[in-house]
Amino acid sequence: MKQQSIAIDMDNVLADVEGHAIAWYKKEYGVSYSKEQLNGQPEGSGFENQEAFWRYVHSPGFFRTVPVMDGALDVLQKLNTIFDIYVVSAAMEFPQSLEEKYEWLDEHCPFITWKQRIFCGDKSVIHTDYMLDDHTKNLDHHQGTSLLFTACHNTLIKHHKRLNNWKEVGVYFNI
């Protein structure tokens, strides 16, 4: 019998892009933000200099140095023993990120093989039993169970099952 499958997004799900952008902004401008201050705002728009976020995500080295989300690796390793796991990233939006994301996965998730990595442009081509993502544009067209991972930009969204952190992901999947 085939195992069930889960597509898991990288940015703001496995990798803390928001926290990383906040750190880069503080380093560049000396201004501190909390994630709570950015809640409910489109990506990058919560910063005084709204252009900064987009400059960061197009900067070499940004995606390679993003920290791992708290609790992600432990839960991901357990899920990987029970489900067919695919790490899926719409990396084509940021072409310079392709190699950086691959290297990031090698460093932080060596148990996720090259066969489990999908870098694409449009996630509507992904047909898994579950999809865990922070963007509704990816979840709205998913044919399986869609799970919204909380990020600052999606805190006002109500039309998907929400998982706030990796502890909740573990509880949801009974691991």
The predicted model gives 100-115 an average pLDDT of: 97
Q: Report pLDDT digits (tens) over 81-94.
A: 999 999 999 988 88
9 is catalytic: yes
Give bridge partners of residue 84 from the DSSP assignment.
Answer: 5
Q: Report pLDDT digits (tens) over 124-136.
A: 999 999 999 999 9
What residue ranges define each of the domains in the chain, with the CATH number in brackets? 5-16+68-172 (3.40.50.1000), 17-64 (no CATH)
What is the Cα 87 distance to its own chain's centre? 9
Residues 9, 16, 133, 134: which is the catalytic one? 9
Q: Is the pTM of this model over 0.85?
A: yes
Across 65-97, b (16+ Cβ under 10 Å) vs e yields ebebbeebeebbeebbeebbbbbbbbbeebebb
Would you list the DSSP string of 46-94? TSSSTHHHHHHHTSTTTGGGPPBPTTHHHHHHHHHHHSEEEEEE-GGGS
